[in-house]
Structure 1
Amino acid sequence: MKESRLFKIIYYLLDREKATASELAEKFEVSFRTIYRDLDIISSVGIPIYTSNGRNGGIYLVDNFVLNKALLSDEEQQNILIALHNLEVTKK
């Protein structure tokens, strides 16, 4: 499920601090284009995700960004998933 992958990307970046598009594409078994579309969706909902080019580049979240899944109720998680889904639909 796409929404699940979006959350997994966020948590992966929180855990690793930085990743490459190829690393994310391989981990989630999708194409580079899909990863960049997912990053666009994540960014559009206000999560501070950035990319940098070059040898030491990658995809990362702002240093002070915190998203603790334990702080979100099941209803809040569902609302976020619905919002992400609605954004995806309106972009098409």
Structure 2
Amino acid sequence: MFEILYILLNKEKISSKELAEKFEVSVRTIYRDIEVISGAGIPICMTQGRNGGISLLILFIV
């Protein structure tokens, strides 16, 4: 799960399929991991569709 976070910090967006291939697990396992990460309070955004993917929700407060 830490590696998923590092990837999300370095990439703007990545698909669950790409993550599953990288870690040699199922897409469902990636969804479970993302759910755990989100439950820990890390803001993650998941969007569906052709240009969808998983990304960190970064908020800048000025």
TM-score by length of 1: 0.62
| Runs (5+) with no aligned partner, structure 1 | 1-5, 66-92
1:18 & 1:12 partners in 2: Cα distance?
A: 9
Moved over 4 A (4+): none
Match of 1:47 among 16, 19, 42: 42
Matched, 1:61 2:56: yes
Q: Which has the higher contact order (CA 8 A, sep 6+)?
A: 2
1:31 & 1:53 partners in 2: Cα distance?
A: 17
2:4 & 2:30 partners in 1: Cα distance?
A: 9
Give, as a single letter, the amino acid of the residue that structure 2 aligns with 1:26. Answer: E
Q: Which has the higher helix share?
A: 1
Larger Cα Rg: Structure 1 or Structure 2?
1
**Cα drift, residue 53 of structure 1:** 0.6
Alignment of 1:1-92 (within 5 A): 6-64=1-59
Q: Calculate percent identity across the aligned residue pairs.
A: 60
The alignment covers a number of residue pairs equal to 60
**Cα drift, residue 64 of structure 1:** 4.0
Name the Cα RMSD after superposition.
Answer: 1.3
